[in-house]
Amino acid sequence: MTNARQLAAEAAAQIADRLGGGFDATVVLGTGWDDAVAELGELEKQISTTELAGFPASRVEGHGGTVGAVAAGDRRLLVYRGRVHLYEGNSAAAVTHGVRTAAAAGCGVAVLTNAAGGLQPHYRVGGPVLISDQINLTGTSPTEGTEWGTDRFVNLVDAYSPRLRALAADTSPATPEGVYAGLRGPHFETPAEIQMLRNMGADLVGMSTVLEAIAARHCGLEVLGVSLVTNLAAGMTDEGPSHQEVLDAGAASGMAVGRLLRGVIDRL
């Protein structure tokens, strides 16, 4: 049976063939971050991830399912538009295949973006928040299973790189930081669950990113995480969150948050 490392190496070889090499960083654009790609740099070429080994089809509206080579100044980026989620019925291995493939393709940095509900009333809807740490509530890990050796016990202290967070703060000084809680979803949370998350120390809630961050650290990548706050979390407003609201907030802010990412890339 092909293991995760072999599958990532296979996909990376296909990327080298189709998109070339010399990648410095990978950027995973989450829900609503699609417009950010234009601000990152020049999209040289892109293909559907389903043309590569190991990627399942993504069917969520707002998730493109492509991977492209973007020239950002003298940096070369491997940019995923759309990601794979647990809630589509995928395994932790499938969810993290893109990050592992990026590492195998030579990237040293992973920029993970997402749409999130904000638990802090002062967060601006449509604004970015730098992820300072995470709480993995998915009940799974990309390093469980039979294929990993003792390196599976990955150290997650400073998982979100202090160096990259400082670069982001330098680019955009007023950007707040927060702890991201990753749940399986796909239902939105109840107000009681949001209260529980607040008591746990979470500032942001979403349905992605946490497994990718673990896999990225396992592969030795430096990680920057940025959430776009698309709504205040359940119970904080009269109406609960909706998928349309998440997409709309992303569409309205994609370009501005793209500029933040480009600022960090330029300072790498």
Q: What does the binding site for ligand HPA look like in residue numbers (CB under 6 A)?
A: 115-117, 188-189, 205-207, 230-231, 233, 241, 246
Nearer to ligand HPA, 66 or 208 (CB): 208
Smaller CB separation from ligand HPA, 178 or 206: 206
Among 90, 88, 123, smallest CA distance to 236 is for: 123
How near is the Cβ of 217 to ligand HPA at its closest, in Å? 22
> What is the rounded CA–CA span in Å between residue 252 and residue 225?
20
Q: How far is the CB of 203 from ligand HPA (least distance, A)?
A: 12
Run of H or E residues at 247: helix 243-267
Cis bond before residue 142 (omega within 30° of 0): no
User: If DSSP codes are grouped into helix, strand and coil, which group holds residue 183?
Assistant: coil
Q: How far is the CB of 231 from ligand HPA (least distance, A)?
A: 5
Distance, in Å, from the CA atom of 52 to the CA atom of 13, rounded to the nearest integer, reads 9
Least distance (Å) between residue 197 CB and ligand HPA: 10
> Closest separation between CB of residue 123 and ligand HPA, Å?
12
CB nearer to ligand HPA: pick between 109 and 194:
194
Q: Between 34 and 189, whose beta carbon lies closer to ligand HPA?
A: 189
Per 3-state DSSP, the chain is made up of helix, strand and coil in percentages (nearest 5) of: 35, 25, 40
Measured from the CB atom, is 3 or 244 closer to ligand HPA? 244
- 10 Å Cβ neighbour count for 24? 16
